[in-house]
């Protein structure tokens, strides 16, 4: 595929978009994983949300 005389600009554009979008998804996955781990650790220590505590008391 011949991208013509401005191939470098086209490739750079797509590369930057790919890096930013993959970076966003990676950040979101890692952030979610970090919060879920913190939440699990708190719940393992017996700290529960009111609604969860009420559910387990029933």
Residues of the shown chain interacting with another protein in the complex, contacts defined by CB under 8 A: 1-7, 9-10, 12-14, 16-17, 20-21, 24-25, 28-29, 31-32, 35-36, 38-39, 42-43, 45, 47-49, 51
C-beta separation of 30 from 22 below 8 A: no
DSSP structure class, residue 5: T
Rounded Cα distance between 3 and 9, Å, is: 10
């Amino acid at each position: 595929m011949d991208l013509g005389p401005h191939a470098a600009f086209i490739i750079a554009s797509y590369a930057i978009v790919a890096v930013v979008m993959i970076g966003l998804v990676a950040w979101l996955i890692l952030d979610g994983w970090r919060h879920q781990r913190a939440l699990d650790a708190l719940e393992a220590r017996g700290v529960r949300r009111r609604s969860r505590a009420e559910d387990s008391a029933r």
